[in-house]
Amino acid sequence: MDFTLIAHRGYSFSAPENSFEAFDMALERGFDNFELDAQITKDGQLVVFHDQTVDRVTDGQGEVSDHTLKEIQALKLIGGYEFKEEFPDAYIPTMDEFLGRYAGRAHPHLELKSREAALPTMVAEALKRHGWLNVAGTDTFDAPGITVSSFWADQLYRSKLRLPNVRHGWLINELSEETVDASVKLGFDSVYPRAGTATLESVSHAYERGLTVRGWGIDNDDDLARIYKSGAAGTTINWPTEGQEFLNSMAD
């Protein structure tokens, strides 16, 4: 069956997460679907960054929202020091830089990371500005294409209202009757359960309600095998090459 591996924050197993080095590496290794995170700086600029604070993966400290863009981009993106020597020039990209760099050659899965009210509107405007709405109607994992996701249903709903033709997926811990019902009611296109919780029954039910399913939170081969066997369409993963090799071995 078709099953797509999405490079989580780029090829984050081998390069600093959410960096151009990680996204470029994903493309070079044949993975044109990758996940990234959107946040807002102190001076109202969109940047590609996951954590609420910069402490874990940069040489700085404090919350993203307490830094200006200039301050954010002066930080070294060292990924907990494991990439300090190998990628000395890695930095935190703006969303405009990202969308311009990968236009026409990738399928970003863009996560609305924070609950700031302005975030869905700012992301929608950036996508329009860079022409990404021209590929909004493509199939689930076609590249070029675009998908918006979030753990926050209210943020995702605000985004869907602004971008009705863009695929939207709700990140959840577990598929249930309640989460499927809510997804359908709110007009979402997809549901994204934690991979280790997916079952054939729950995934099949979501598909019957018109939703696409893909996983997240792959920690090991068992998680990958479970989401694959559940009938889901794909998953995010930090190590897509090794993941594809594992899936190929299952099919042999």
Average pLDDT over residues 38-66: 97
Q: Is the per-residue pLDDT at 88 higher than 80?
A: yes
Q: Domain for residue 80, yes or no?
A: no
Exposure class string for 131-168: b at 16+ Cβ within 10 A, else e: ebeebbeeebbebbbbbbbbbbbebbbbbbebbeebbb
Q: Is the per-residue pLDDT at 248 higher than 70?
A: yes
Q: Domain for residue 215, yes or no?
A: yes
Q: Is the per-residue pLDDT at 81 higher than 70?
A: no
- pLDDT the model gives residue 1: 61
**Residue 32, SS3?**
coil
Q: Is the distance from CB of 5 to CB of 244 less than 8 angstroms?
A: yes
**94-135 confidence digits (pLDDT tens):** 999 999 999 999 999 999 999 999 999 999 999 999 999 999
Give the rounded percent of residues in the chain with a pLDDT score beyond 90: 92
Residue 251: pLDDT band by 50, 70, 90 thresholds?
confident
Q: Domain for residue 81, yes or no?
A: no
Q: What is the CATH number of the domain that holds 143?
A: 3.20.20.190
With residue 192 as reference, give the H or E element that holds it.
strand 190-193
Structural domain of residue 41, as residue ranges? 4-52+95-251
Total domain count, the chain: 1
State if pTM tops 0.85. Answer: yes
Residue with tokens 């060292």: 78
